[in-house]
Amino acid sequence: MRRVPLHLGARGALVARHFLLTADGGSRGNPGPAGYGAVVHEGHVVVAELYDFLGIATNNVAEYSGLVAGLVAINALDPLAEVDVRMDSKLVVEQMSGRWQIKHAGMKELAQKAREAHSPALVTYSWIPREENAHADRLANKAMDELGGFVPRQLNLLTERLRMDEVPTTIYFIRHGETILTADRKFSGSRANDPALIAAGLANAKLVAQEIATLKPEILLASPLQRTTQTAKEIATLTDLPIVFDESWLECDFGIWDGMSIDEVKEKYPKEYQAWVSSSAYAPPGGESYDALGWRVDEAIDKLVATYPGKRVAVVAHNGVIKQAIRLATGGSPSSIFHIDVSPCSISTITIWPSDGLRALRSANEMGHLR
């Protein structure tokens, strides 16, 4: 990870950055095959996903290992950063906060590694319910499944879920209508360049609103940018639902490329553009990588399901965000986002079972209402 410098505060002083770390670990047998997961956030952006297989270990060892990995990563980003650690392990939280004594020799060693990873004076700990730690939990299971040699039962689980009575959460993803940048496929991210809908975009927003109204959503969420807000307002008018704005659904940040056409980027930044189309891990100068966007969307979906279990939720978002949601639902590799596209005012539907977070793609890029 690259070192990130301090930034200027309100009075011109250098101020350390602030990160949120969620971490978890698991052991199938306790002790048994174990793995950890950790997620590092800065604001609404997920800046790192970490997971690894530990071999045979206990739950507590796995949980501490996730904490240590996250703190090491944050320290590499900014050794003076303030860190808010949130975990569903009361043991780790209480021990690292100094309220519970650490008697086990192995736990003492891991706790010391955590203290050495990042200055304890800069770290605070708090407990969260397990459902609020779903992202890190899923990474821990991914470590055990993929790196530990276990075979995930996703297909079998889907078959079982379809035969059960549990009501899944259904998400209708709606891409916003056309803007002045859409026809030329110019980069349109989450920066100050925030175009409004053009006449054709407004017309199609009204049509997709009619279609969404027939699906009877119970919740309406939206990215707070102008183009998504305008599209969501058309849906709100017909469904009588309040719009809940959430920055988690913001489009990918394309940095200095925002507002530029692909040809312009190729001409001015040929090496950078080639790197971008060659790897989902590459971020445009000053922007966000597709991998980072995927982590953010992954977490936003978990948050939505935890908040609205079993509900029908309409989410007005952006091309990159919806492509990532489709990729995540189908278990595609990070690079598969380059093989997905969604059109303005199209609908893509995903169902998720709250009990275990299993996801299924129902439809993608539906546009029959626009014909």
Contact between 65 and 110 under an 8 Å Cβ cutoff? The reply is: yes
Q: What is the pLDDT of residue 156?
A: 62
Closest by Cα among 185, 339, 319 to 265: 185
Return residue ranges of the chain for CATH 3.40.50.1240: 169-370
The architecture CATH gives domain 7-151: 2-Layer Sandwich (3.30)
pLDDT at 254: 95
What is the model's pLDDT at position 7?
46
Average pLDDT, the chain: 90
Catalytic residue among 41, 118, 135, 176: 176
pLDDT of residue 155 exceeding 70 = no
Question: Does position 36 have pLDDT exceeding 80, yes or no?
Answer: yes
What digits encode the pLDDT tens for the residues 156-203? 667 666 667 788 999 999 999 999 999 988 999 987 789 999 999 999
Confidence category of residue 1, pLDDT binned at 50, 70, 90: very low
pLDDT score for 270: 96
pLDDT digits (tens, 9 = 90+) for 307-353: 899 999 999 999 999 999 999 998 888 889 999 999 999 999 999 98
For the stretch 56-67, pLDDT in tens is 888 899 999 999
Within the chain, all domains assigned CATH 3.30.420.10 are found at 7-151
CB 148 within 8 A of CB 35: yes
Q: For residue range 96-145, what is the model confidence (pLDDT) as tens digits?
A: 999 988 877 778 899 999 999 999 999 999 999 888 899 999 999 999 98
CB of 201 closer than 8 Å to CB of 178: yes
CATH of 169-370, one of 3.40.50.1240, 3.90.1010.10, 3.40.50.450, 3.40.640.10: 3.40.50.1240
Using pLDDT thresholds of 50, 70 and 90, give the confidence band for residue 15: low
pLDDT of residue 147: 85
Q: Does the pLDDT of residue 11 top 50, yes or no?
A: no
Catalytic residue among 178, 211, 234, 251: 251
Give the helix ranges, DSSP H, for the chain.
59-77, 90-96, 105-117, 134-142, 154-162, 199-214, 226-239, 262-268, 270-278, 290-307, 319-330
pLDDT attached to residue 107: 81
Is 176 catalytic? The answer is: yes
Q: 29: exposed, middle or buried (C-beta count within 10 Å: 0-12, 13-18, 19+)? A: exposed
Q: What is the pLDDT of residue 92?
A: 94
**What does the pLDDT read at residue 14?**
59
278-295: average pLDDT: 92
CA 241 to chain centre: 25
The answer to whether 364 and 342 have CB atoms below 8 angstroms apart is yes
Answer yes or no: 251 catalytic.
Answer: yes
Average pLDDT over residues 31-37: 91
Neighbour count for residue 236 (Cβ, 10 Å): 18
Above 70 in pLDDT, residue 153? no
Q: Considering the chain, what percentage of its residues have pLDDT values greater than 70? A: 92
Whether pLDDT at 13 is above 60: no
